[in-house]
Amino acid sequence: MDLALTDEQQAFRDAARAFLEKEAVPHRTEWDRRESVDLDIVPKMAELGFFGLTIPEEYGGLGGDYLTYVLGMEELGRADSALRGIVSVSNGLVGKSILGFGTEEQKQEWLPRIADASILGCFGLTEPGTGSDAGNLTSKAVRDGDDWLITGQKLFITNGTWAKVALVFARTSDDGPRGVSAFLVPTDSPGFEAREIKGKLGLRGQATAELFLDQVRVPSTALLGAEGQGFKIAMTTLDKGRVSVAAGCVGLVQACLESSVAYATSRTQFGREIAGFQLVQELIADISLDADAARLLVWRCADLIERGEPIGVAASKAKLFASEAAVRAANNCIQVHGGAGYVDDYPAEKFLRDARVMTLYEGTTQVQKLLIGRAETGVNAFV
């Protein structure tokens, strides 16, 4: 595997970093305090290509390889993890599901608007009673002539109050995971309601919502993939989603490293820069090591995707390590900053709050360990 970036990949990373340093980093504290990013940044991000990465040009995207996508997620995670979530849910979870399982008509209808961010998408899988146990979700879709009527409730849905289309997973039979189907639901449909969840620990700049569907009518053409294929769609998509989360965590660790170095080389105690103290250097060295190790795990996943190889276990390893590394790095970053790291004049405390959820969503740390353990032993510990 050649770890050198191509000229095009390096140019995109440089452009992405320069853009985010100007348009996001100066505003992330304000966005965090008011619990919403400025949505004017979304079309600007689309112009740079964030929402069209890996979507083919014929559907309005940039095309491009998966490592470029990963680089974009790293830069978003470095600047503001809330922005990374907006992109990776709309483009990654929703857009890539449509690209992988949609009809030509569905691709033509939705992908160009996702790629140019004229609409955002949300991924309606998690429910109040089913998080890790997604195969037992209770939302239902029943046939009514040529239509489907969807009723249910979804929880912790990123982009939920901003999205114009929701990829909703609902039960179409009682056959366990094989009874789950996926539907593309316009959020302005009668009976569809989104309520924003406030008071989150982290990722406060992105909209997180609870969705309520009461006999929401959609045509048969809204079914994504075949009936009963929804659980497969969700799990296939979440493998790549975990790579996106892991890539964002790499960026977050990198931000912790840069912030720690900047503070340690400018803060003076006992007549010298604190960067000269051995235990401060230990904290910084640990962050640096985690950044490199997490990045290699993520880039391996990108390489596997490009070669068409299975990524399930590799994605679990990358997501597990990178998310836990982000928590460690943010905690060390606060320690380097001392008391200054405990207030939001510096980004260290935001890094920690944003990092903490990475070990929870798109498969908890514990679920990732079970998936890795099952792959190694051949024994399913879920049941």
Residues marked active site are found at: 362
In angstroms, the CA 98 to CA 114 distance is 10
Q: How many Å is the Cα radius of gyration of the chain?
A: 21
Collect all residues with Cβ–Cβ distance below 8 Å to 219 and sequence separation of at least 6.
Answer: 146, 147, 148
In this structure, is the dihedral angle defined by the CA atoms of residues 122, 128, 133 and 137, taken in order, positive or negative?
negative
Q: What angle do CA 352, 90, 80 make, to 5 degrees?
A: 25
In angstroms, the CA 199 to CA 216 distance is 29
- The dihedral region occupied by 362, where left means phi > 0, alpha psi between -120 and 50, and beta the remainder, is left
Instruction: Could you list the beta-strand ranges (E) of 245-287.
Output: 268-269, 272-273
Q: How far is CA 285 from CA 92, 261, 278, 289, in A?
A: 32, 10, 10, 6
Nearest in space to 223 (alpha carbons), one of 111, 98, 334, 135: 98
